[in-house]
Amino acid sequence: MNGRISLDTNIVIRLFKNDPLVTSMLAGLSTICLPIPVIAELLFTARNSSRQKENIKTYNEFIDACKVLNITKETANHYSIIRLELKKKGRPIPENDLWIASICIEHNLPLVTGDAHFDNINVLEIIRW
């Protein structure tokens, strides 16, 4: 790794659950990136929890320490290509995950995830922890 990665929601959740593997792997990185759809999913998770106020504060502190990756016209172009390829393969994936993959491809960043359906996107570099 070049010190820059993008995290999927499930990896951030594992971090907040003190997963030792995730914690140790993130320790040596210079830049942790979060696509906007990941941030939206994290904030939903915090608001949907029994400890809403505490979780929103914790999640926002983590988000503020990361580089936020927004959606652009180029992202939309990648999205349209990926979505069509997956449709042709008969392998659709969740909408937010299409955006997450498109943002990572745009920024040439590997995605750290636990979701196997990202494997169907040929041009996306996947890292599994």
Task: Quickly tell me which residue has 């290509």 as its tokens.
Answer: 81
Residue 24 three-state SS = helix
Nearest-10 Cα torsion for 63, 112, 97, 69 = 40
Tell me which residue has tokens 């955006």.
99
The answer to whether 67 and 99 are in contact (CB under 8 A) is: no
Q: In sequence order, what are the residues at sequence separation of 6 or more whose Cβ sits closer than 8 angstroms to the Cβ of residue 117? A: 91, 93, 94, 97
How confident is the model over 28-86, as pLDDT tens digits? 898 999 999 999 999 999 999 999 999 999 999 999 999 999 999 999 999 999 999 99
Domain boundaries, the chain: 4-127
* Percent of the chain with pLDDT strictly greater than 70: 98
Say which CATH superfamily domain 4-127 falls into: 5'-nuclease (3.40.50.1010)
